[in-house]
Amino acid sequence: MRDQADFATESNGLWGRIGRAAGAVMSVALLVILGLWLWRMSTQDVTQVPIIMAQAGPARVQPEDPGGTVAPHQGLEVNEVIAGNVREVGPEDVTLAPDPMDPEIMTAALPQDVIEVPAPDEEEPEVAEGEEPVDPAAGRALPNAPVVSIVPRGRPSGLEPGRRPAPEPEQPVAIEADAIDDGAHMIQLGAFDSEQVALLQWAGILDAQPDLLTGKLRYIEQTTSGGRTLYRLRAVGFDSETETRAACAALVARGLQCIPVQKR
């Protein structure tokens, strides 16, 4: 046992000396490398630093066929205004209105066969029914002249003044619990904390889904669950369970909540 302990002590001392020697060699090597680096940095010539010269000519050259999509609204005057290239308006850009024409010149320029309208103080000759009016100046019939004067029709005898047709009666939109038979098929569109919220939800769903809820009656049932008072919003007017399931499937597909239920 003593021989083994002496051998272990001798081994530990040998490896310790080797480790210390290796650490000393590494430290000396690092100091030598650091000294060489500092010496090279202090003796380096700055003229040996590579310098990148600027490229001669343009950095980018536009291709002959750039391709791509042409931007719309090019070549408009508003683009010139934004760019600050506003051209001054000259006399050649201003167009004045023509001078007023002389009425005598306008009358002389009219064709000779134009029919003149009689003055207000002149009396037109009476024309019997069935005869064409004749121009007293030209002695010929006036074009497009009515043969018989248009007289407005009289009031129909079947109408009585002051009376209007009675409006159609408004269809009910809500139903009470007493009017719903036991076992009636309904769909539930949600449960809310107040009746006002349920009414607003019904208006929004009815406006967004008229093809599924038009003609259905609104029924709000008050209930208590977990110490809370809830108002169940339901739609009444379905004939069978199959119809309620189909309606709920369509509403759920559109992102709404729907459950087929029955009146208990």
pLDDT in tens, 43-58: 777 666 677 788 788 8
Q: Is the pLDDT of residue 124 over 70?
A: no
Which domain range does residue 11 map to?
A: 1-30
Judge whether 63 lies within some domain. Answer: no
Query: Which of 228, 232, 197 shows the shortest CA–CA distance to 218?
Result: 232
Judge whether 46 lies within some domain. Answer: no
Q: Is the pLDDT of residue 122 over 60?
A: no
Q: Is the pLDDT of residue 143 over 60?
A: no
Alpha carbon separation from 139 to 115, 116, 132, 133, 135 (Å, rounded): 11, 12, 12, 10, 5
DSSP 149-208: ---PPPPPTT--TT--PPPPPPPP-B--GGGSPTT-EEEEEEEESSHHHHHHHHHHHHHH
Judge whether 40 lies within some domain. Answer: no
Give 137's pLDDT tier (boundaries 50, 70, 90): very low
How many domains would you assign to the chain? 2
Residue 208's CATH number: 3.30.70.1070
pLDDT at position 72: 73
Which of 29-33, 149-153, 165-169 tops mean pLDDT? 29-33
Judge whether 77 lies within some domain. Answer: no
Judge whether 85 lies within some domain. Answer: no
What is d(CA 63, CA 61) in angstroms, rounded to the nearest whole number? 6
Which of 46-60, 62-76, 95-109, 210-224 tops mean pLDDT? 210-224
What is d(CA 182, CA 160) in angstroms, rounded to the nearest whole number? 50
Judge whether 197 lies within some domain. Answer: yes
- The more confident residue out of 44 and 133 is 44
pLDDT at position 68: 76
Judge whether 116 lies within some domain. Answer: no
Judge whether 128 lies within some domain. Answer: no
- Average confidence score pLDDT of the chain: 75
